[in-house]
Amino acid sequence: MANITLAIDDQLLKEARKIAIERDTTVNQMVREFLESQVISHPKRRTAARNLLSRRYPASPITWRREDLYDR
């Protein structure tokens, strides 16, 4: 397992430690879980977007003419 160094605002770290204590975990574990969730969800979001964009929706049966839309 690799180690990384993060620069975090002192107040942010203090609040993160409070949350970690409430959750009976560590800030380190919270960061690990956050990064893991981002990595896991990223391909899912990309796949979902690709599936949505690739759907073939039927063209509207209504054909509009400019003259029909605007009174001149």
The whole-angstrom separation of Cα 62 and Cα 53 is 22
Task: Tell me the whole-structure pTM to 2 decimals.
Answer: 0.59
Range of the domain at 23: 19-47
- Judge whether 66 lies within some domain: no
In a domain? residue 53: no
pLDDT of 21 = 97
HEC-encoded secondary structure of the chain: CCCCCCCCCHHHHHHHHHHHHHCCCCHHHHHHHHHHHHHHHHHHHHHHHHHHHHCCCCCCCCCCCHHHHCCC
In a domain, 30, yes or no: yes
pLDDT tens across the length of the chain (72 residues): 888 999 999 999 999 999 999 999 999 999 999 988 887 777 777 787 777 767 766 555 667 677 777 765
Q: How many domains does the chain have?
A: 1
